[in-house]
Amino acid sequence: IEPRQHFTQPPPRFSEASLVKELEKLGIGRPSTYADTIGKIRDKDYVELEKKRFHPTDLGEVVTKLLVRILPNIFDVEFTSRMENELDRVEDGEVKWHGLLAGFYPGFRERLEDGQENSDQIIKEILAAEGETCEQCGQPMLVKWTKSGRFLGCSAYPECKGKRSMDGIPPEGIELGLHPAEGRQVRLKTGRYGPFLELEAPEEGTKPKRVSLPEKMSPSEVDLEYAVKLLDDLSAEGIELGLHPEEDRTVRVKDGPYGPYVELEAPGEGTKPKRVSLPEKMSSSEVDLEYAVKLLELPRTVGEDPNTGEEVAAGLGRYGPFVRRGKTFANLKSFDAMWTVTLEEALGLIDAKAAGKKLPLKEFGKHPDTGMELVLLSGRYGPYVTDGKINATLPKGVEVEEVDVEMAIDLLEKKKASRGKKKGRGRSKK
């Protein structure tokens, strides 16, 4: 017997090109559908593109598990390939579509109805956090998530609202102490991209300084001294990301009084460097050269309004991502949309803004009890959720990205309850 050392590696992630090659190899889809398929999984946040490679999101993994559990035959690559070939034969007139549908639909419908009937239980089984129980009621905990990251939530929700973070860091963070030079609180917190350090904002209306922990560092290893060093390194010369591929000038990520930003070295003496702020909640350590170069290309010209001849552009401003025509600005729903929004979509948003129509920041679907549409809108006093009858402003400190359907329903219920109390406060009749 000859002993040999063997190392296993995770399978490489697909790029857009290699994913198309794999689809072709498996016989899934056709050239006319590849772009739409890839666009759908990105638009629905099932995957994220990092360094030109697709990575599944928490949502994508859960949806995949759910669909494979309910429809195992349908989500089999061999079945999909066979069905593609059969559809080609229908198009060529070799097979009647009625017969193909009759052989497929009854079994599909039965599995789908069974899945819908038992979906709550199936989802609980998929999301169950093994060995974790709620500290408030003792019920099993489920893995849940918002845009800010994953967390453990009680399976008895909404009767019990117990929750905690997955890495042991409470939602409000852990106070490490005061920065010796700044005199402001340093906290260890957790977010969508994992644990990070935060230096308290110097004053109201300014942003706190944030920097992510190195990938292999455990939160339990962090003390105040290390946190201060990491935060101070970011402020001084910044972090060098590399040379701009076209400009041949250095690109850095830095931290300023209004938060982190990327900077392209000035072209010559007496000229200013180009600077672009990072998207809200993105820390400096999450930025690589490729993403920094994309930010430095902003604002991006989307096209020209065919009616007015004005330029339509997409960019990043003080209030987030936007599209602009002349002096009319309209918000975009996501940061990725700055690079993907089409001229038609941009004009639709701008025209709606010009007409005074409020576009939702988020849509949650129908209320499970009332059937009314739940949306998150931007108002004079900040973002608020509404079902068309009741409006509930987001609590201070809650970001738009954190709001999910459960939180929206909870806010509306609290608002409704507070209205009822106010009505009962009238003077008693003499």
Which whole-number Å values give the CA distances from 17 to 37, 44, 290, in the listed order?
Answer: 13, 20, 18
How many residues make up the chain in this entry?
A: 430
64-79: average pLDDT: 85
Candidate from 110-114, 207-211, 297-301, 367-371 with smallest mean pLDDT: 207-211
CA 301 to chain centre: 24
322 close to 331: Cβ distance less than 8 angstroms: yes
Query: What is the identity of the amino acid at 83?
Result: M
Backbone angles phi, psi at 125, to 5 degrees: -70, -40
**345 has pLDDT over 70:** yes
> For 418, how many CA atoms within 13 A lie in the half-sphere containing its CB?
10
Across the range 74-78, mean pLDDT stands at 83
Enumerate the β-bridge partners of residue 260: 255
Alpha carbons 422 and 83: distance in angstroms, whole number: 61
Q: Which domains does the chain have, with CATH numbers?
A: 16-122 (1.10.460.10), 123-165 (no CATH), 174-235 (no CATH), 239-296 (no CATH), 300-354 (no CATH), 362-421 (no CATH)
Q: For strand 300-304 and strand 311-317, is the pairing parallel, antiparallel, or unpaired? A: antiparallel
Q: In whole numbers, what is the pLDDT of the chain averaged over residues? A: 82
Asked whether residue 200 carries a pLDDT value surpassing 70, the answer given is yes
How far is Cα 164 from Cα 151, in angstroms, rounded to an integer? 6
User: What distance in Å separates the CA atoms of residue 334 and residue 332, rounded to the nearest whole number?
Assistant: 6
Find the angle CA(168)-CA(173)-CA(174) to the nearest 5 degrees: 80
Q: What contacts 24+ positions apart, CB below 8 Å, involve 81-84?
A: 81/26, 81/27, 81/28, 84/27, 84/28, 84/29, 84/30
Instruction: Look at residue 346 and tell me whether its pLDDT is greater than 90.
Output: yes
Q: How far, in Å, CA of 96 to CA of 90, rounded?
A: 6
Residue for token pair 């039965």: 110
φ, ψ for residue 65, nearest 5 deg: -60, -40
* pLDDT given at position 430: 46
Calpha distance 365→160 (Å, rounded) = 23
User: What does the buried/exposed string (b/e) look like for 6-42 if buried means 16 or more CB atoms within 10 Å of the residue's CB?
Assistant: eeeeeeebbeeeebbeebeeeebbeeeebeeebeebb
CA distance 83 to 289: 42
pLDDT the model gives residue 193? 61
Q: Please say if the pLDDT value at position 8 is more than 50.
A: no
Weakest-pLDDT range from 12-16, 208-212, 216-220: 216-220
Query: For the ranges 52-61, 71-80, 101-110, 123-132, which has the lowest average pLDDT?
Result: 123-132
Band of the pLDDT at 16, cuts 50, 70, 90?
Answer: confident
Q: What is the pTM of this model?
A: 0.40
In this structure, are residues 234 and 242 in contact, taking their beta carbons and an 8 Å threshold? no
- Residue 385, helix vs strand vs coil: strand
Return the percentage of the chain with pLDDT > 70, whole number. 87
